[in-house]
Chain A
């Protein structure tokens, strides 16, 4: 190590090594691979179905068959195609909701954690507590009732009731990282506080956030489809999975496929994200890879 090597380049090298280990651990977990495969398939479906899919129709309420793998719905639309179309909606919902929550919650959390114990921290945490007290369903109902029933509003509702979780998480991370020697070192070198927060603390707190966010994409899909099921979210004729399940509810005995397949789609999608998040948690936790030195 010569004195010429810039520290940033060394950091870059280390991070690359880390990435290799993470990929290696992930690859060795069959459940994670399966989850990843499912998600890739979903993304594919989401992108290509609207472009490629034919608009097949048949008679109403046809049971599953070769030409209509999931049967048809009350208007004769092919359910399989509709479920595939729904993939795009759900994926977008999941990603947008989580992105929004992250955008609001993380910076607030990092700031609160870094300035722990001060008025800033107290203020942020009190507001956070207020929002934390609201169960997402009720908040969604309130917002939907005010602004009208739509998928966008349902998404906003979920995001608003979710950001406090990220704030809490980030705050805990930032507060513990703040005590670390490398922060003191940075301060000693004269690095400004804002810069410390965003360039040093934020990146190092990412690991649990990534895990949580991945699983939350699934939960977001779960929650918004639940709202659509209740009629507060997506409205017909949107091919949203939750909405389809609620439509199919009236035909349980006779035309069971109407409610079953969209719900199954939700299940598989959410499960894939949860599995991936779980696998990521294992991969990103250095303690879960057995240490080399054990004395």
Chain B
């Protein structure tokens, strides 16, 4: 089946006063129709930048050095800004991490919501308003009519995020990108928002590109997972497969370091070293300085992607030897 979104070999650099930041180095992954794909990794690994590249909302100093972003059989990187504007909000929507800063503070909710609806749908203002109210209701907000006249700062974080979701799904997008939508919220609200997202996805049959650093959320939400490290895609696998059979050393270490009740009383697993400086990234495999299984070849070139099993991709030289089971 053809994937909805296919990112191939994305190379992204940033031009700064400090030098060139090599943010992404050949990132590839697919998002199928009607699936939730989780993009996981530490802060700074490139997950957000990847998503921004998909909708082409990068800052001025970003340079896409190589790669393609195929969405519905078209390369988005070739598209003009006008064409992208048609796609954003209508076919691909994005919700961001901090809802309190994602809404314009001096405009009422109704101004912002209705305007987005009118941008993509040729209906009258009154119809758009009514649609807006219905949307607010469908995301679980009480008293939506009154809410339309509120300013964002008058609402709680959870409510703001619901409004962001309402705006994002207002035109039934095929792909929803969610960049850590719950990281700034309380845990209880977090659960509610995640449920809401699940509900939206079921109703609209949209795919979701879910970005997070929290494996707990991954387990709850995602069908397939891609693990990123320092601008590289380390491993991609279906959720169960990744949890039971992680192959990349980084993924393994990551899973080991998640605190669970069974590890109570024991020392937490730590990955030695620090995240690399992307101005001068390590040669070859970017994880090699911290990897317990480094070989000489790891320092020379970035490892190729090996397909293991039906749907499991790993970017590691260890795979070449066919060693799929080791400590």
Contact = CB atoms under 8 A, between A and B. Distances in A.
B14 A294 contact: yes
B16 A290 contact: yes
Nearest to B18: A292
Nearest to A291: B16
B43 A295 contact: yes
A295 B17 contact: no
Contact of A289 (B16, B23, B44, B278): B16
A26 to B, nearest CB: 11
Interface residues of A, number: 10
A295 B14 contact: no
Nearest to B58: A294
Interface in B41-61: 43-49, 59, 61
B295 interface: no
Interface in A262-291: 289-291
A256 B46 CA distance: 65
Contacts of B43: 293, 295
Contact of A294 (B17, B18, B48, B279): B48
A292 B48 contact: no
A21 interface: yes
Interface string B1-29: 00000000000001111100101000000
Contacts of B59: 290, 294
Nearest to B12: A294
A295 B49 contact: yes
Contacts of A291: 16
Contacts of B17: 21, 24-25, 289-290
A292 B23 CA distance: 9
Contacts of B278: 292-293
Which of A289, A291, A292 has the most B CB atoms < 10 Å from its CB?
A292
Classify the interface of chain A: helix, strand, loop or mixed: loop
Classify the interface of chain B: helix, strand, loop or mixed: loop
A115 B279 CA distance: 43
Nearest to A290: B16
A292 B16 contact: yes
Interface in B243-283: 278-279
Nearest to B62: A294
Interface residues of B, number: 18
Contact of B21 (A21, A24, A25, A292): A292
B45 A290 contact: no
Contacts, number: 34
Interface in A26-54: none
Contacts of B14: 290, 292, 294
A291 B16 CA distance: 7
A294 B14 CA distance: 9
Which of B15, B18, B61, B278 has the most A CB atoms < 10 Å from its CB?
B18
Contacts of A24: 17
Contacts of A293: 43-44, 278
A30 to B, nearest CB: 16
B157 to A, nearest CB: 20
A295 B279 contact: no
A24 B14 CA distance: 18
Nearest to A295: B48
B45 A295 contact: yes
Contacts of A294: 14, 23, 48-49, 59
Interface string B66-77: 000000000000
A283 to B, nearest CB: 10
Interface string A1-37: 0000000000000000000010011000000000000
Nearest to A293: B44
Contacts of A290: 14-17, 59, 61
Given A290-B59, A290-B61, A295 B46 contact: yes
Contacts of A21: 17
A293 B16 CA distance: 10
A294 B15 CA distance: 12
A290 B19 CA distance: 11
A18 to B, nearest CB: 12
B44 A295 contact: yes
Nearest to A25: B17
Which of A24, A25, A293 has the most B CB atoms < 10 Å from its CB?
A293
Lowest 8 CB-CB distances: which A-B pairs, in order? A295-B48, A290-B16, A289-B17, A293-B44, A290-B61, A292-B21, A295-B44, A295-B49
29 contacts: A21-B17, A24-B17, A25-B17, A289-B16, A289-B17, A289-B18, A290-B14, A290-B15, A290-B16, A290-B17, A290-B61, A291-B16, A292-B14, A292-B16, A292-B18, A292-B21, A292-B278, A292-B279, A293-B43, A293-B44, A293-B278, A294-B14, A294-B23, A294-B59, A295-B43, A295-B44, A295-B45, A295-B46, A295-B49
Interface of B: 14-18, 21, 23, 43-49, 59, 61, 278-279
Interface of A: 21, 24-25, 289-295
Given A292-B278, A294-B59, 15 more contacts: A21-B17, A24-B17, A289-B17, A290-B15, A290-B16, A290-B17, A292-B18, A292-B21, A293-B43, A294-B48, A295-B43, A295-B44, A295-B45, A295-B46, A295-B48
